């Protein structure tokens, strides 16, 4: 990989200016987690930091906040109430709003769980938050329960379904990956969202453009690697890339980290937390190649 130009079409992030500070790289807010799933939102938060966001805050149910905080000292936490099922209740909206005002972008979904209250909360955020937003995992499963799953959003949106989640979003339980790829382009164009259809050669599309990702390997087929991707996309949104560019570069770096990881470990041995440690190598590879002429 080193000394080969980056693939054409890949967004270029300039080197950091000498006078830059954490505010330069944006404030990201990530909402998720529930009792039994504190790890997923932490993986997203750690990936968001390693993706270069300036300030990262995780809004999680107060029942798991100490666990989440203990995973990583570099992000902040924001306590939301916990309902009887261990999840975020609808009345967390007011507390969340306090934080939304000072956030440049939002991610919601990893480890969230699904309840009626969360359906209304996710729908509300999707329909009212005017800045860039990533919706993943249970956030997608909840949007899938709306009459028109992806309609009526208030700002730039990235949705990151795997095939199972995409089938739910479009209400077609038996859709093949091939047909899902065609449909993802249509859905993205019609609903004016960026769709990241995850799997081997993840598809990124805004309906007009599309990218088949060349990086990644089956070592990624392990719980939590999608949560890492969500954090990485959010980091690039915090750094002001547009939704298509952020999704594309994040998917590329995520797969590249996995490719670099399996040189030192194995596909079977790769874990989501192990993947995090290779994001730095992926950035190093990207930075060493970005000034070469593109193919």
Ligand X SMILES: NC(=O)C1=CN([C@@H]2O[C@H](COP(=O)(O)OP(=O)(O)OC[C@H]3O[C@@H](n4cnc5c(N)ncnc54)[C@H](O)[C@@H]3O)[C@@H](O)[C@H]2O)[C@@H](O)CC1
Ligand Y SMILES: Nc1ncnc2c1ncn2[C@@H]1O[C@H](COP(=O)(O)OP(=O)(O)O)[C@@H](O)[C@H]1O
Residues of the binding site for AMP = 198-202, 226
Q: Which of ligand X, ligand Y, Mg ion, none does residue 234 bind to, with CB < 5 to 8 Å depending on kind? A: none
Cα of first residue to Cα of last residue in the chain, in angstroms, is 13
Contact 25, 54 (CB under 8 A): yes
74-76-82-86 Cα dihedral, nearest 10 degrees:
-20
Applying CB under 6 A, among 124, 131, 146, 162 the residue interacting with ligand Y is 162
d(CA 110, CA 107): 9
Contact predicate 235/51, CB 8 Å: yes
Q: How far is the CB of 269 from Mg ion (least distance, A)?
A: 20
Selected from 138, 206, 245, 285, the binder of ligand X by CB under 6 A is: 138
Binding residues: 111, 162, 198-202, 226-227
What string marks each residue from 92 to 131 as x (binds Mg ion by CB under 5 A) or -? Answer: ----------------------------------------
Rule CB under 6 A: choose which of 10, 26, 30, 40 binds ligand X: 40
The answer to the question of residue 137 lying near Mg ion (CB under 5 A) is: yes
26 binds, among ligand X, Mg ion, ligand Y, none (CB under 5 to 8 A by kind): none
Unique residue bearing structure tokens 């009212």: 128
Token pair in block for residue 141: 């499963």
Site residues for ligand Y, 163-202, by CB under 6 A, read 198-200, 202
Choose the contact partner of 37 out of Mg ion, ligand X, ligand Y, none; CB within 5 to 8 A by kind.
ligand X
261 binds, among ligand X, ligand Y, Mg ion, none (CB under 5 to 8 A by kind): none
Label residue 40 exposed, middle or buried (CB < 10 Å: 0-12, 13-18, 19+): buried
Closer to ligand X by Cβ: residue 64 or 248: 64
**Coil, helix or strand for 97?**
helix
Owner of token pair 């991610």: 107
Q: What are the C-alpha distances in Å from 33 to residues 88, 110, 208, 258?
A: 8, 6, 34, 24
Instruction: Number of residues interacting with Mg ion: please give it, by CB under 5 A.
Output: 2
State which of positions 206-245 bind ligand Y (CB under 6 A): 216-218, 220-221, 223-227, 229
Q: Which residues contact 110 (CB under 8 A, 6 or more apart)?
A: 30, 32, 33, 37, 40, 41, 43, 44, 136, 137, 138, 226, 227, 230
Interface with ligand X by CB under 6 A: which residues?
37, 39-40, 110-112, 137-138, 162-165, 199, 223-224, 226-227
Interface with ligand Y by CB under 6 A: which residues?
137, 162, 198-200, 202, 216-218, 220-221, 223-227, 229
Interface with Mg ion by CB under 5 A: which residues?
137, 226
């Amino acid at each position: 990989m080193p000394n080969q130009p980056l693939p054409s079409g890949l967004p270029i992030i300039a080197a950091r200016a000498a006078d830059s500070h954490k505010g330069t790289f944006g404030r990201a807010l990530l909402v998720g987690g529930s009792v039994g799933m504190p790890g997923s939102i932490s993986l997203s938060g750690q990936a968001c930091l390693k993706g270069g966001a300036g300030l990262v805050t995780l809004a999680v149910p107060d029942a798991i906040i100490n666990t989440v905080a203990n995973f990583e000292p570099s992000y902040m936490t924001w306590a939301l109430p916990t309902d009887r099922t261990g999840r975020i209740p609808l009345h967390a909206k007011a507390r969340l709003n306090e934080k939304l005002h000072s956030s440049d972008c939002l991610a919601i979904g990893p480890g969230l769980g699904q309840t009626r209250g969360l359906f209304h909360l996710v729908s509300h955020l999707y329909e009212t938050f005017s800045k860039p937003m990533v919706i993943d995992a249970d956030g997608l499963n909840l949007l899938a329960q709306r009459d028109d799953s992806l309609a009526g959003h208030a700002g730039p949106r990235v949705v990151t379904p795997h095939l199972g989640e995409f089938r739910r979003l479009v209400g077609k339980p038996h859709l093949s990956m091939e047909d899902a790829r065609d449909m993802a382009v249509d859905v993205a164009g019609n609903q004016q969202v960026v769709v990241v259809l995850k799997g081997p050669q993840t598809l990124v599309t805004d309906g007009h453009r599309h990218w088949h990702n060349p990086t990644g390997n089956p070592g990624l087929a392990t719980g939590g690697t999608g949560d890492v991707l969500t954090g990485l996309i959010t980091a690039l949104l915090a750094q002001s890339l547009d939704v298509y560019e952020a999704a594309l570069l994040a998917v590329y770096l995520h797969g590249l980290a996995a490719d670099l990881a399996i040189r030192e470990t194995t596909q079977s041995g790769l874990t989501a937390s192990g993947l995090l440690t290779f994001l730095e190598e992926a950035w190093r590879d990207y930075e060493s190649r970005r000034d070469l002429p593109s193919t």
